[in-house]
Amino acid sequence: MARTGFFILSIILFCSCGVLRKNYDPAKKYPKAALQKDYTLLRNILEAKHPSLYWYTSKEKMDAYFDKYYADITDSMNEQQFAWHVLAPLIQKIHCGHTSVSMSKAYGRWVTGKIIPAFPLYMKVWNDTMAVTANLNYKKDSIFKRGTLVTAVNGVPNKLLIKYFMEFLPEDGYEENVNYVRISGNFPYFHRNIFGLSKTYKVSYLDSSNQEQTVTVPLYIPPKDSLRRDSIQRKAAKHIPKTKQLLQDRSMVIDSSKKFAVMTVNTFAQGYLRGFFRRSFRRLKKEKINTLVLDIRSNGGGRVEMSTLLTKYISRSHFRVADTVFTPERSLGKYARYTRGRFFNNIEMFFLSKKMKDGNYHLRHFENHVYGLKKNKFDGKVYVLINGPTFSASALFSNAVKGQPGITLMGENTGGGWYGNNGIMIPDIILPHTKLRVRLPVFRLIQYQHPSVKGTGVPPDIYVPTDYQALIKGQDKKMEEVKRIMLAP
């Protein structure tokens, strides 16, 4: 009987989820009063629980921003409008890369398998430059082919356009490298959400004689069968073989010359890294490989424990992770019911933190513990490739090994803060009316042996910027440069 009841309940829940997805309407507008309640709740939580709300923006200015965006709620809005035009620019003013806005889970279920109309050009964006990397409307286009330099969209010069994009995207301090990569990864997505859709766009570009020209391009509208094809592709992606997924998370290849190896670590959150590191460094020692290229350019972070483990294999000396790690409160208090994972978060905060003289609750383990090195640690030359998406725990690693003998950081500034960042525990705030989610880092972490000035990412020892010619040819300039240095006579 109990099994029958459970079976019936399962069917009801399954059907309910299907109905929720089918009936979800992204155009649904929430009343002004409901939006104001969600906004006020979010403000109260951030003011009470965020460890670094005023780290880069003074309280006076932050209060003014809170008031400004509250005043922008003049009427009802749908989820996308509230998220992108009220919450996103507000959150950006905190300058915390771990504090960000996400759409509701209902929206996520609704959008899965859909290809939505969009601005038609994908573009690589860096500094004040935009270059075409793909064209959704045409596979072959005599004008907007790979590498075409775009100078304006709808009359907005690229410099101002990029600057405006940055007003909606979070970053650690003032380090925008990560956002150049984000925009480059899906320019149509950001343009649609920030500027909305138009039937046509006026795009200015430089022709073969370096003269500026302007043409009108149509909105990209997906073919009728694209929904079905994309849905099939997404379903296939969900069933990626375990071995293939592991290779996407981390890999190591020893060059046929035996002169060097390339280890790629794209995450510290998964990938059975403990065993991978153990096997890999044992093999490097056994095969007497004296040069290692460590690629963490796509590593957005994860578990500090795994970042620290990699440091144990690479560092030349004992090390510490942080100078200071603290939270202003020992629990999420009355706001816990609006956060995901509240029970375990409160338990961890209570038992792992200790109140100190400054009135904050510190994680003394991170502040005091000195980490030793591994038996099979790597003693040869190490070239660490970094750039904007090198974030959070991977920025901790970059800081820990920077400046050590035989270790060279190459590429561009990390997106993760050099002075420090916020994280350790990052529950989602779920706003009760719109169900929008806002990530809330609980602890402030100040790096061990941090620089005196905060606001930048960890800088490379050898700067290798985006290279236009390499972009046109589809080459990995940073990897080519490290190989040139390694193999130089």
Structure confidence by residue, pLDDT tens digits, 158-205: 999 999 999 999 999 999 999 999 999 999 999 999 999 999 999 999
Identify the pLDDT of residue 225. Answer: 64
Distance of CA 424 to the CA centre of its chain: 15
CATH 3.90.226.10: does it fit domain 242-426+442-487?
A: yes
| pLDDT at residue 141, as a whole number | 83
Domain ranges of the chain: 121-221, 242-426+442-487
Q: Is-contact 298 12, C-beta < 8 A? A: no
- The CA distance from 19 to 413, in Å, is 46
**Angle (CA) 436 441 445, round 5°:** 160
Whole-angstrom distance, CA of residue 481 vs CA of residue 470: 11
In 3-state terms, what secondary structure has residue 343? helix
**pLDDT at site 226:** 57
What would you measure as the largest C-alpha separation in the chain, in angstroms?
79
Q: Would you write out the chain's pLDDT as a tens digit for each of its 489 residues?
A: 444 443 333 433 344 444 444 688 999 999 999 999 999 999 999 999 999 999 999 999 999 999 999 999 999 999 999 999 999 999 999 999 999 999 999 999 998 888 889 999 999 999 999 999 999 998 778 899 999 999 999 999 999 999 999 999 999 999 999 999 999 999 999 999 999 999 999 999 999 999 999 999 999 998 876 555 555 455 555 567 888 888 899 999 999 999 999 999 999 999 999 999 999 999 999 999 999 999 999 999 999 999 999 999 999 999 999 999 999 888 888 999 999 877 777 888 887 889 999 999 999 988 999 999 999 999 999 999 999 999 999 999 999 999 999 999 999 999 999 999 999 999 999 999 999 999 999 999 999 999 988 999 999 999 999 999 999 999 999 999 999 998 887
Tell me how far apart the alpha carbons of residues 236 and 154 are, in angstroms, rounded to a whole number.
Answer: 38
Q: Which CATH superfamily is 121-221 part of? A: PDZ domain (2.30.42.10)
How far apart are alpha carbons 305 and 311 in whole angstroms? 10
* Assessment of whether the complete model's pTM goes beyond 0.85: yes
- Write the pLDDT tens digit of every residue in 353-405: 899 999 999 999 889 999 999 999 999 999 999 999 999 999 999 999 999 99
Count Cβ atoms within 10 A of the Cβ of residue 403 and give its class: 0-12 exposed, 13-18 middle, 19 or more buried.
exposed
